[in-house]
């Protein structure tokens, strides 16, 4: 599965894949930034906003925001949740950024990250939602089949026996 979720003048955000696990789903994403006509200072500012690190940057209204709308209407936001859930955390549905990497040069930069949804989605559609006001990206979404993801989980086999 691969689909562009949002496109701006110098930015593209895409869903690049989905990995199904026995207890959740990992949504793979890429963000691509190009320098365009920005001067050196403008490029440094763009790159700084683009490569902000989760959990370290202040939660400003201009930041990158990820969310999901589950088939039952539940809305989940990644916000400042990064990594695996802590012991004793609420057992309800959650989504969080789970790793990432980046690379680039003086003209373009790419960031890859994963969103972890736990538990498996129920029947119905699953909407992946992204918004990034700093780059002029309004709320944008891609619709996935949550039921098909859960059905695929029955064929998951452990890596280690």
47 found inside a domain = yes
Would 160 be classed as within a structural domain? no
**52-97: pLDDT as tens digits:** 755 555 678 888 999 999 999 999 998 755 555 544 455 689 999 8
Q: How far apart are CA 12 and CA 75, in angstroms?
A: 24
How many independent structural domains does the chain possess? Answer: 1
Phi, psi of 45, rounded to the nearest 5 degrees: -65, -45
161 part of a folded domain:
no
Contact call for residues 77 and 67 (beta carbons, < 8 A)? yes
CB 31 within 8 A of CB 12: yes
pLDDT digits (tens, 9 = 90+) for 92-128: 899 998 888 999 999 999 999 999 999 999 889 999 9
Residue 148 lies in a domain: yes
CATH code of the domain covering residue 57: 2.60.40
Would you say residue 119 lies in a domain?
yes
Does some domain include residue 8?
yes
Give the integer Cα–Cα distance in Å for 138 and 86.
32
């Amino acid at each position: 599965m691969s689909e562009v979720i949002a496109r701006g003048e110098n930015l593209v955000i895409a869903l690049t894949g989905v990995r199904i696990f026995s207890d959740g789903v990992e949504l793979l994403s890429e963000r691509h930034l190009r320098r365009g006509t920005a001067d050196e200072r403008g490029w440094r500012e763009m790159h700084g906003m683009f490569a902000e690190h989760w959990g370290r940057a202040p939660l400003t209204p201009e930041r990158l925001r990820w969310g999901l709308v589950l088939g039952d209407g539940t809305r989940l936001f990644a916000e400042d949740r990064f990594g695996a859930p802590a012991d004793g955390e609420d057992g309800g549905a959650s989504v969080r950024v789970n790793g990432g990497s980046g690379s680039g040069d003086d003209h373009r930069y790419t960031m890859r990250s994963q969103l972890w949804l736990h538990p498996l989605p129920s029947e119905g559609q699953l909407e992946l939602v992204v918004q990034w006001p700093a780059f002029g990206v309004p709320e944008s979404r891609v619709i996935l089949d949550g039921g098909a993801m859960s059905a695929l989980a029955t064929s998951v086999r452990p890596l280690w026996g």
